[in-house]
Amino acid sequence: RQSGLVAGFARLMASTGYAIPGAVLALGALIVMGQLGLTLTGAGAIFALAWVYASRFTTSGAEPMVAALGRAPASMGYAAESLGASPLRRAVSVDLPVALSGAMAGALILFVESLKELPATLMLRPFNWDTLSVRANAYATDERLAAAALPSLLIT
């Protein structure tokens, strides 16, 4: 429930990743990893993919939780403070239960969005590691449309 210049700037910076295409973020990750001398084999590829997913989908996962916290009346927190609850106790007993529904919705949105992210996954995935969208794309590219139907339906 922070407001102010720093919190607004942090929120703006966290949301910029959603506006940038996944291929551009993946290319940036490839450049940075190349400059650091890291390779895209094994754990390096998974790290790069997690880095791109985190920068791309931070907003998708966090916004439902922010919305859930915004719907809660401020008087709930004030009541906990007036009853002598410490900031940690207030967070655990008041803010966490309110944010839980938003966190679950955000996790579901994050899961679906990461399933659909094809460009970054194609560029950064380890060898022989296919996600559902990569498999559907491979089937569609080979014009095996009947085989591509089920993975495509599961994604949407």
- Give pTM, 2 decimals: 0.74
Look at residue 139 in the predicted model and tell me its pLDDT: 92
Domain limits of the chain?
Answer: 5-125, 126-156
Query: Quick one: which H or E segment has residue 1?
Result: none
At 73-131, the pLDDT tens digits run: 888 888 888 888 888 988 888 888 888 999 999 999 988 888 888 888 888 887 778 88
Q: Which residues 6+ apart lie within 8 Å of 12 measured at CB?
A: none
What are the tens digits of pLDDT across the range 20-36? Answer: 888 999 999 999 988 98
Q: Residue 56: helix, strand or coil by DSSP?
A: helix
| Structure confidence at residue 153 (pLDDT) | 87
State whether residue 118 is helix, strand or coil. Answer: coil
The residue written with tokens 């929120």 in the block is 11
Residue 134 in contact with residue 122, Cβ under 8 Å? yes
d(CA 155, CA 146): 15
